[in-house]
């Protein structure tokens, strides 16, 4: 009996190992991605930074740009790295990040890979571009929520969704070109030329459909911090902000205050992200005269090439059609 | 395939961490299952949120310290109130766990900033550092020493507390010491395993082992083997399939549980 039991344990563990080995082997075989070990590997932390970097690198030979796995839901700041990300980072030469606390895992990466060069675009633009800083009271409150040494955009008091501002995004593009050029001086001129060319394309193709003149100085409310930059680009005045994501616990007092603010300030438009702002958007439509416009934040999905321009133009068109 | 895996420093560290944590879970889990304390360890895991919240309120930069202090106080308080016998222990633990979780959530979600702390729900073993591994080595040594000196007394208490008392075993001290030990293990490993899964890792290997064991020695050894096997296999599979490590370990531990359940039922 006893012998049978240990034989059973042995057979069970061996069987599980065989099943796991076989299924993992086939999974890996089916999902194998061609990664090149040669050349200069530039990793990026999120879609907006990836798009900027791809345009900066352009056709420069020997330089590959790869994005970390992207969260399919939620905001970037609570994303944890996957094993695939960790593998990619260990062979990367440089990591380009948005910064400003957006990448909550950045400290862990810096600890794990002390030799990995990091280009922090937020750091490069925060003093020369109009980065939005939350009001002092809110900032103080958020400071009291600091966790360990983890940096976070709520804790730093700044809104780090800077890519949503065309002007700041151009600054990020320049910062990436400068950063990459400093690390790879042979291609520095190409990076600068590509960055300038991309900024020119942005200037010529981004079309806010006259919204800046049409809405100048008008009050607006946002259900996602990222749209504070959309409002800034169009010259709108943000009178109420509620940053919604999948873990956001909204109190009744907060909702009533938000609705009150919309009514008191004659807000015509509320900018929101569909996934997390939809339920609140319905409530706002029911309780106020404001129209809720659902825009993209460029964080989720697969993007390439000039998609930054396409998405922003689509956002502007949606706002225009809501008027 | 495996040599490539160990060329990454993060995988080496994660493997060392798994090899340190999993035998502890297997070992301590046996006594938790034996003493029917599954609810107790689950409540302790959930109270980690309140520990963090307490640290945030008091301005403690390293919230692991506040988690440990809170966890120990929480465990001792639970033991104290359970001994009073005013209510059944599962009701008491449930009330305490719910209250602690709600308090933690209420404080941490103030101003909508719960997202800052959500990583602790699922844990992340891949980001463990060498300094944290040293913490785990110390924990490993402490638990092993405690285990070697106290296992007989704990077993006697778990079988019959009054009989243990008659043999001059201080039941109260041993129960409190064991509760503190669980609190230390849970709080120091929760960052790597996550609140949602930590109890599964504590309970499943021991429960699987209990399905087929005939004596306490067998029970302990098999539990440790199942725990190490689930941990290492889960880590390896998660590496190749790019899935989260904690859930993968729990899935493998669950498969072992069901297999031993079927075998044990027909014995």
> For A249-298, what is each residue's pLDDT tens digit?
667 777 888 888 888 888 888 998 887 777 788 888 888 888 899 998 88
Total Cβ atoms within 10 A of residue B149: 9
Cross-sheet strand order for the sheet of A291-294: A237-241, A219-222, A269-272, A291-294
- For A40, list phi and psi in degrees, rounded to 5: -100, 120
Task: Indicate yes or no: CB of A16 within 8 angstroms of CB of B263.
Answer: no
Residues of B in contact with A222 (CB under 8 A): none
pLDDT (0 to 100) of residue A286: 82
Total Cβ atoms within 10 A of residue B264: 16
Q: Tell me, what DSSP letter sits at residue A266?
A: T
Gap from A50 CA to chain B (nearest CA, Å): 21
Testing the interface with B: which of A249, A251, A299 to mutate, by most B Cβ within 10 A?
A249
Gap from B5 CA to chain A (nearest CA, Å): 9
Last residue of a domain, one of A171, A205, A239: A205
pLDDT (0 to 100) of residue A151: 39
Instruction: Number of A to B CB contacts under 8 A, please give it.
Output: 124
pLDDT (0 to 100) of residue A140: 43
- List chain A residues with pLDDT less than 50: 136-155
Residues of B in contact with A90 (CB under 8 A): 8-10
Same domain, A130 and A146: yes
Query: Which CATH number do you get for residue A317?
Result: 3.40.50.1980
Q: Which residues of A182-197 are buried (b: 16+ CB within 10 A; e: fewer)?
A: ebbeebeebbbebbee
CA–CA distance, B5 with B50 (Å, rounded to integer): 37
Testing the interface with B: which of A83, A103, A112, A224 to mutate, by most B Cβ within 10 A?
A83
Q: Is residue A18 within 8 angstroms of chain B, CB to CB?
A: no
CA torsion sign for B253, B64, B180, B99 is: negative
Say if A168 falls within a structural domain.
yes
Q: Which residues pair with A65 in a beta bridge?
A: A42
Residues of A in contact with B239 (CB under 8 A): 83
Q: Which two tokens stand for residue A312?
A: 């922003």
Same domain, A257 and A231: yes
Task: Indicate yes or no: CB of A147 within 8 angstroms of CB of B242.
Answer: no
Say if A73 falls within a structural domain.
yes
Burial degree of A78 (CB within 10 A; 0-12, 13-18, 19+): buried
CA–CA distance, A137 with A128 (Å, rounded to integer): 24
Domain that holds residue A47: 40-205
Nearest CA in chain A to B264: A5
Task: Indicate yes or no: CB of A24 within 8 angstroms of CB of B236.
Answer: yes
> For A180-190, what is each residue's pLDDT tens digit?
999 988 889 99
DSSP, collapsed to helix, strand or coil, labels residue A224 as coil
Testing the interface with B: which of A24, A145, A245, A252 to mutate, by most B Cβ within 10 A?
A145
Task: Indicate yes or no: CB of B8 within 8 angstroms of CB of A142.
Answer: no
Angle among Cα B31, B103, B114 to the nearest 5 degrees reads 100
Task: Indicate yes or no: CB of B214 within 8 angstroms of CB of A2.
Answer: yes
Same domain, A217 and A311: yes
Same domain, A195 and A236: no
pLDDT (0 to 100) of residue A77: 63
Gap from B22 CA to chain A (nearest CA, Å): 16
Residue A128: left if φ>0, alpha if ψ -120 to 50, beta else—which one? alpha
pLDDT (0 to 100) of residue B88: 73
Q: What is the mean pLDDT of each run of 10 residues along chain B (267 residues)?
A: 73 90 92 84 85 82 85 88 74 84 80 63 77 89 91 85 81 89 89 82 92 90 95 89 83 94 81
Nearest CA in chain A to B267: A1
> For A293-316, what is each residue's pLDDT tens digit?
999 888 876 777 778 898 999 999
* Measured CA distances, A259 to A225, A238, A282 (Å): 17, 14, 12
Last residue of a domain, one of A205, A233, A249: A205
| Number of independent structural domains in chain A | 2
Last residue of a domain, one of A205, A228, A254: A205
What pTM was computed for the model? 0.69
């Amino acid at each position: 009996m006893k012998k049978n039991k240990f034989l059973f344990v042995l057979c069970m563990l061996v069987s599980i190992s065989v099943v796991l080995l076989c299924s993992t082997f086939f999974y890996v075989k089916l999902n194998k991605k061609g990664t090149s070990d040669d050349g200069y590997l530039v990793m990026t932390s999120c879609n907006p930074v990836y798009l900027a970097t791809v345009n900066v690198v352009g056709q420069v030979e020997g330089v590959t740009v790869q994005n970390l796995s992207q969260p399919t839901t939620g905001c970037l700041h609570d994303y944890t790295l996957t094993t695939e990300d960790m593998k990619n980072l260990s062979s990367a030469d440089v990591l380009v990040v948005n910064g400003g606390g957006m990448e909550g895992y950045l400290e862990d990466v810096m600890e794990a890979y002390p030799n990995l060069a990091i280009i922090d675009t937020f750091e490069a633009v925060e003093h020369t571009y109009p980065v939005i800083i939350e009001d002092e009271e809110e900032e103080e409150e958020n400071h009291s929520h600091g966790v360990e040494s983890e940096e976070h955009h709520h804790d730093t008091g700044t809104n780090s969704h800077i890519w949503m501002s065309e002007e700041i995004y151009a600054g990020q593009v320049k910062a990436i070109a400068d950063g990459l050029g400093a690390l790879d001086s042979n291609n520095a001129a190409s990076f600068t030329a590509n960055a300038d060319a991309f900024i020119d394309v942005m200037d010529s193709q981004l079309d806010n459909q006259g919204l800046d003149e049409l809405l100048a100085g008008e009050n607006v409310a946002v259900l996602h911090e990222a749209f504070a930059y959309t409002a800034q680009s169009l010259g709108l005045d943000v009178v109420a902000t509620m940053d919604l994501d999948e873990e956001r616990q909204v109190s009744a007092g907060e909702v009533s205050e938000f609705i009150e603010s919309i009514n008191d300030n004659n807000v015509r438009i509320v900018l929101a992200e569909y996934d997390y702002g939809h339920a609140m958007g319905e409530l706002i439509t029911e309780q106020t005269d404001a129209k809720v416009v659902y825009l993209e934040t460029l964080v989720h999905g697969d993007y390439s090439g000039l998609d930054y321009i396409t998405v922003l133009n689509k956002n502007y068109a949606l706002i225009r059609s809501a008027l | 395939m495996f040599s490539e895996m160990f060329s990454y420093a993060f995988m080496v560290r994660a493997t060392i961490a798994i090899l340190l944590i999993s035998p502890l879970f297997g070992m301590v889990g046996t006594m938790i299952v034996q003493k029917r304390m599954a609810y107790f360890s689950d409540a302790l895991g959930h109270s980690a949120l309140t520990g963090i919240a307490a640290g945030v309120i008091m301005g403690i930069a390293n919230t692991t310290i506040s988690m440990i202090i809170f966890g120990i106080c929480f465990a001792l308080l639970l033991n104290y109130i359970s001994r009073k016998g005013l209510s059944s222990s599962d009701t008491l633990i449930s009330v305490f766990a719910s209250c602690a979780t709600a308090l933690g959530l209420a404080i941490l979600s103030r101003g909508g900033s719960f997202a800052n702390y959500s990583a602790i729900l699922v844990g992340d073993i891949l980001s463990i550092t060498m300094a944290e591994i040293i913490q785990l080595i110390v924990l490993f040594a402490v638990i092993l020493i405690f285990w070697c000196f106290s296992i007989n007394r704990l077993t006697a208490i778990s079988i019959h507390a009054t009989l243990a008392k008659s043999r001059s075993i201080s039941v109260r001290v041993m129960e409190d010491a064991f509760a503190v030990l669980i609190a230390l293990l849970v709080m120091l490993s929760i960052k790597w395993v996550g609140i949602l899964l930590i109890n599964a890792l504590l309970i499943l290997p021991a429960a699987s082992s209990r399905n087929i064991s005939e004596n306490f020695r067998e029970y302990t050894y098999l539990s440790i083997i199942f725990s190490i096997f689930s941990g290492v296999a889960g880590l390896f599979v998660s590496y190749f399939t790019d899935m989260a490590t904690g859930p993968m370990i729990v899935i493998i531990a669950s498969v072992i549980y069901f297999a031993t359940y079927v075998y044990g039922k027909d014995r």
